[in-house]
A = this chain, B = another copy of it.
Amino acid sequence: MPRPATAPPTEAPARAPRARRQRVQAAATGVAVLKGLSRLGGRASLTRLAAHLGESPAKVHRYLISLLEAGLVAQDAVSQHYYLGAETIQLGIAAMRQADPLRAAEPSLARLREQLEVTCFVAVMGNKGPTIVRFEEPALPVTLNVRVGSVLSLLWSATGRVFLAMTHDGRVEALARAELEAASAEQRRGLDPRDPIGTLRTQVRAAGVATVRDTYLPGVSAVAAPLIDYTGQVRAVLTALGATGGFDPSPQGPIARTVREEAEAVSRSLGYRPQEDAATAP
């Protein structure tokens, strides 16, 4: 096989690519051993771990020794079981610090803008209420614009209803009660007169999204879904909006489905695991 004359001098000989692939494959095996221990609850015997991975105990043992030396795995002196150790906690803490909902939502904002051709934004819970911190608008002649820093209603905006339904925070509850007291008879008309906040919560939790049509701004409809992190907390809300005539805000419509799917992808990248969360909830 002729070698190209332009091969850089640091390039390894012809058999190197295969050896390199094998080495990278070995790194993947090390990672698989770590993830296997994690899937088994963070702790297992060599026999159980090897069976889980479908590898020989001798092979898994060699990788465990390497992970033990690196401090990622420890061994129980009594049971001889292997478990995820102090260095893995440090890796996790560093990863948790990187779990930034704004950065994680960037690709979703771009996809919503391009695929659905809608204005979309991310809002966080500020001290005055849900606050827009980042938005994208489609390349259309006429679009709905939103302003970074705008504070939205908890009771009448889709974004606010997601925070209201999915956060367990006395401050959010207090802001919502204040909004309710200050509301006009006209505004209250759309809410359940017996339990306005409780009914909103039940509806949004059941649908997984909040949708509004003309309740916050006449002629504007919106769909919003939560961005949840590894602790199970709503860190931000992803919202798409449009002029009511040309925007389908129904919870089963294609916009709501896409917003929900994008929000779920962001939540997964923030370490959220819905099933696990339900299984380990107290």
Q: A136 CB to closest chain B CB, in angstroms?
A: 13
In the complex, the answer to whether A77 meets B106 with C-beta atoms within 8 Å is yes
Q: Which of A5-29 contact B (CB under 8 A)?
A: 10, 20, 22-29
Q: Contacts of A120 on B, CB cut-off 8 Å?
A: none
Task: Give A28's nearest chain B residue, CB to CB.
Answer: B66
Chain B, Cβ-Cβ closest to A21: B62
Query: How many Å lie between the Cα of A145 and that of B132 in the bound state?
Result: 63
Docked complex Cα distance between A103 and B42 (Å): 14
Contacts of A10 in B (CB 8 A): 56
The answer, yes or no, to whether A191 is at the interface (CB within 8 Å) is no
Query: A209 at the A/B interface (Cβ < 8 Å)?
Result: no
User: Across the interface, do B97 and A42 meet the contact criterion of CB distance under 8 Å?
Assistant: yes
- List, in ascending order, chain B residues with CB within 8 A of A271's CB: 86, 89-90, 93
With a CB–CB cut-off of 8 A, which chain B residues contact A269?
Answer: 74, 85-86
Residue of B nearest to A76 (CB): B103
Residues of chain B contacted by A91 (CB below 8 angstroms) = 34-35, 38, 84, 88, 91-92
A230 in complex: contacting residue of B42, B89, B103, B268, CB < 8 Å: B89
Find residues 56-87 in chain A having any chain B CB closer than 8 Å to their own CB. Answer: 56, 62-63, 65-67, 69-70, 72, 74, 76-78, 83-87
Using Cβ atoms and an 8 Å threshold, which residues of chain B touch A41? 94, 97
B97 x A89 contact (CB < 8 A): no
| 0/1 string, A238-282, CB within 8 A of B gives 1 | 000000000000000000000000000000111101000000000
A20 to B107, CA, bound (A): 41
CA distance A98 to B34 in the complex (A): 14
21 A-B contact pairs sorted by A residue (CB < 8 Å): A10-B56, A20-B62, A22-B23, A22-B26, A23-B23, A23-B29, A26-B30, A27-B27, A31-B70, A35-B70, A35-B87, A35-B91, A38-B91, A38-B94, A38-B95, A85-B95, A85-B98, A86-B271, A89-B96, A92-B92, A93-B230
